[in-house]
Structure 1
């Protein structure tokens, strides 16, 4: 057997096998039994292995991981739905071409309200619940000013 360096073309941990591309460009089949050590390889890892010829093509034996590739961390922009607790990308609902609100694609729960009028009324209501006396004064002043 000939010692060779190569790069993991792909490896499936679920299936337990994959292929290594040698420095010469030949693809070598390998499986978990051919790996030395406890770590499983990832796509792009640099490896040392022994090349053997089999009836179906090249086979990698005694595969050692030399260096692991840096994995790009995928950004997860999804949020959690307050009703169904699934990770979601909210769906935008428009009204006559204007942004209105967003909903959960699974359960339909409202995620965010973009309507200015609804947000204003909701804000006044929240203030009235939190500070009942000052909110009452604001409403009375508004009614007096409106009747003048």
Structure 2
């Protein structure tokens, strides 16, 4: 389904999307690609779902370049991959005779 971001609070990590069906859908940062922050008025696509608390947007994908990774909420339970660095290899000098 398509929709428009009604509001999204980056500090709280959630907001609402107005779906093309006229309903508002709760969106949590965990339903967004890692590091993406939604902006008010931004067009998105999502999978509508419903639970005991109401309508939710899942697998949200931003349709514009307005999405930002600035100030994205951090999931403290996830581990960042450790980057391995390669040690410089010293070349051996060869005596030419």
Q: TM-score range by the shorter chain?
A: 0.5 to 0.7
User: Structure 1 residues 68, 25: closer, same or farther in 2, change over 3 A?
Assistant: farther
Taking structure 1 as the reference length, the TM-score comes to 0.42
Indicate the RMSD between aligned Cα atoms, in angstroms: 1.2
User: Where does the alignment leave 5 or more consecutive residues of structure 1 unmatched?
Assistant: 70-148
Taking structure 2 as the reference length, the TM-score comes to 0.64
User: Structure 1 residues 5, 21: closer, same or farther in 2, change over 3 A?
Assistant: same
Larger radius of gyration: 1
Q: How does 1:126-141 map to 2 (within 5 A)?
A: none
User: Where does the alignment leave 5 or more consecutive residues of structure 2 unmatched?
Assistant: 67-97
2:15 equivalent to 1:27: no
Deviations 1:64-114 (A, max 9, x none): 100256xxxxxxxxxxxxxxxxxxxxxxxxxxxxxxxxxxxxxxxxxxxxx
- Report what 1:125 is aligned to: none
Selected match of 2:48 from 41, 51, 70: 51
Selected match of 2:63 from 52, 62, 66: 66
Q: Alignment length, in residue pairs?
A: 66
Q: Which has the higher contact order (CA 8 A, sep 6+)?
A: 2
Q: Per-residue deviation at 1:37?
A: 4.3
Q: How does 1:99-138 map to 2 (within 5 A)?
A: none
Q: Which has the higher helix share?
A: 1
